[in-house]
Every structure is written in C-alpha cells, then in structure tokens.
Amino acid sequence: MVKKRVFTILLLLFIRWDVIFSQTININYEQYGTITLSDLWNIEIELPDNMLNQYYFISIELFDNNNNQILRTKSNAFLVTFSPFMYSDILSKNGHSDVNFLSAEWKRKIEKTGSILPSGIYMVNYYLYKTVENCNWNGAIIVNQLFMFEIKYENFLCLIYPPDKDTLFNIYPNFKWLPLNTSSIDNIYEYRINIVEVLKEQVPEYAILYNLLYFYEKTTQTDLTYPLYAKKLESDKTYAWQVNVYKDNRFLLSSEVWTFTISNQQENNENLNENMFYLTLYDEPNQNKWTEVEDNYLYFVLDAEKNIDKNLEYYLYDGNHNRRLIISGKKTPLSYSHGKNFYALSISKFSAKNKYILEVKDNNSTMYLNFIKK
C-alpha cells in the first residue's frame, strides 16, 4: 500500500517544458523566433493536492552536446497554491539568482548575443526542491528531470526595427536586427549597416546596390542608434537599409532590404539643440523628481570615459507596481562604448501617466532616471 502511494506521487510530480518535448526546435527567423536564457524558466509544475501551499525552489543546469556544463542558476523560494503552476507567471516578481557561468567562453558568447542561445544541441537538468520561506539553498529534491533539445536557426539575418515601410517621427532612430547564431563559441561577427536614399519610383533593392551611401557603420552589436554626427535624415524622404555580415573581413551574407520614411512632423525639431532630445541620468534615485516624456521613445545619453565596448547593463521598472521589471539589457541589448552613447528606447506600449524607473549599471556605479509617459 505504501509503495503504491509513493509511486502515484512520483507519477504526478513532474516539470514540463512544452517547447522541448518535441526534441527538436526549428526556429524561423522570419517569425523572430529565438530561445533566450529567460525561456528556460518557462516551465509548468504539477503537484498533488497534499503538496500545495508549500514553498519550493527550482535549480537549472545547462550542458552542451559534449556534456560540458555551461551554467547553473536557481530561483528564489516561491509558494505553490494551485496546480498546474506556471513559474514564468511569477518570474518577474519572484526573480532568480544570478546566472553562474562555468565556462568563460560560453559566458562571452551568450552575453554577446543578448542572452540568446546559439544553435546547437543542449541538455537542461531541472531540480525541484521543497524548502521553507526565503530559503533557496537547502531543501529536499522532489523532482529531477533531464531534457535534451536542439536549436536550429536558418542561415539568414533578420531585421527587426524599424519595420519595413514604416513612417518614423524620430530623426535618430534605433536600428535592430537578430544576431547570427551558430554553435561555434569563437564566431564573432561584424555587422555593416548600409543606408541609402530611395529615389522616386525606385525599387529599394536597386537603390541599395547603386545609390550613393547615405550612412555606413560597422559594429559587432545587434543594434545601432543613428548618430548625431551623421548626415541628417530628411523629412518626407524614403530610405532603404540593409545589414551585411562579415567574419575576418570576409563577406558571409546579407539581410533583406527594408525601407522607412521620415515624417514631416519632425521638421519643427530640426532647429533645436540636438542634445535637448537626450536626457541625462542621475547618480542617486530621487522619488521626488519625475521627468515627463511625450514621445514614444525614451532618449538618454551616457558618457563612457573608459575604453570599453560591451552591452549596456540596464533595467526598466514599472514605478507604480513594486518596481516590476519590464525591459532589461539581457532581453533588449544596447551597445555601450567609449565616448558619448545616444539611445532611443521604445516606450510606445507603455501606459500613459504611469511612472517608470530606468536603472543603468556601469562597473561600480549605478545611474537612474525617473520618468512619466504623457
């Protein structure tokens, strides 16, 4: 009788990650599909009734195809009151411990892509521990389940923003594209963005091939804000842009050619001081000072004195709801290098009259900006 009861509980206790049950993940860049470290927390926990209303925490270990451990991380303790239970529903509130990379090469590779896992075969090991409130370092293992999965990206570079044929109200737009992912750790690619003006009745693909370059830049990042020093984008004109990928100065592939048009509503701003568009962050959080932002973009500037070239570590919180995390540099990477860095962060989907807090970390210092979207 006892054995039967234990066996029944073991059948009912499992962690399910719906995506990786299929053994193979086929991701199409045209659908903007990627797998990030955050997706590893997209798990469902099912428990019998007699194990509800208790505290648990989850530990995750990720391995490559050669059984080398890439990283490990664990959640904070959380209370399960119903079943099935989606941990991703409370991830932003409950959080998890910092990711502990066991390979410096993998750490560099994943951080370079903004926490996106490159293509390859992986094994992920889940542990569910029973514990007590506020404790995620000691507990009894309830479940241990190992999954193997494969990520495949098409050999294609996909543009993300601005969308094709979009009309922009900002003359300093932020261009974004998905990283070219491969299973090789040592692959560091150079992205070269080309922008040309599209003449009347001209095909964009023809324009990108034969028209004079309006703007050209090289970067190892997957985003670029149109710089203040570049030739101004003019109102009521259409531009085509394309990103080419190089490795060791050898051309690999190109993205599609997309176009955008600058709205004539931007003309009234052309005579303003360009730096007035960009807000400066503060060294200390000030709950009494809130800046009103009328645009669909949050423009801010950071000055990096040291000779650095990395992704910006930033977090954007909802100031009205217990600092709920909305955007982070891990999910939406921005480049950060020596000199003045100008950013245009999209806040078009943010609620009007709501308070938000931008937090940026640079080595040992932290900077803040409180703002209200009008």
251 and 306 assigned to the same domain: no
Angle, vertex CA 168, rays to CA 165 and CA 169, nearest 5 = 160
194 and 326 assigned to the same domain: no
296 and 188 assigned to the same domain: no
Q: How far apart are CA 130 and CA 138, in angstroms?
A: 9
Cβ count within 10 A of residue 132: 11
Query: Domain boundary residue among 90, 123, 153?
Result: 153
326 and 348 assigned to the same domain: yes
> What CATH number is attached to the domain comprising 128?
2.60.40.2550
178 and 236 assigned to the same domain: yes
In order along its 374 residues, the chain shows pLDDT tens digits of 333 322 222 323 333 433 333 222 232 323 334 577 777 887 888 888 888 999 999 999 999 888 899 999 999 899 989 888 887 767 666 666 778 899 888 887 676 555 667 777 888 888 999 999 989 888 888 888 888 877 766 556 778 888 889 888 888 888 988 777 554 445 678 899 999 999 988 999 889 988 999 999 998 888 888 887 788 898 889 999 999 988 888 877 888 899 999 887 654 444 333 444 578 888 877 777 888 887 777 888 887 766 666 777 888 888 876 778 888 877 666 777 766 677 777 787 788 888 899 998 876 788 898 998 88
End-to-end CA distance of the chain: give it in Å, rounded.
65
Query: Domain boundary residue among 225, 246, 269?
Result: 269
User: Is 84 in contact with 46 (CB distance < 8 Å)?
Assistant: yes
289 and 240 assigned to the same domain: no
Q: CA of 307: how far to CAs of 245, 312, 366, in Å?
A: 25, 14, 18
- DSSP letters along 12-72, please? H-EEE-GGGGGSEEEE-GGGT---BGGGGG--EEE--GGG-SEEEEEEEEEE-TTS-EEEE
Name residues whose C-beta falls within 8 Å of residue 151's C-beta, 6 or more positions apart in sequence: 25, 27, 35, 117, 118, 119, 120, 122, 181
218 and 254 assigned to the same domain: yes
Q: CA of 165: how far to CAs of 168, 192, 227, 304, 335, in Å?
A: 10, 21, 21, 34, 25
Query: Domain boundary residue among 105, 122, 153?
Result: 153
User: Which parts of 161-233 fold into alpha helices (H)?
Assistant: 204-210
127 and 47 assigned to the same domain: yes
* Share above pLDDT 90 across residues of the chain, in percent, rounded to a whole number: 15
Per-residue model confidence as pLDDT tens digits over 134-180: 898 888 888 888 888 777 665 567 788 888 898 888 888 889 887 77
For residue 82, the enclosing domain spans 2-153
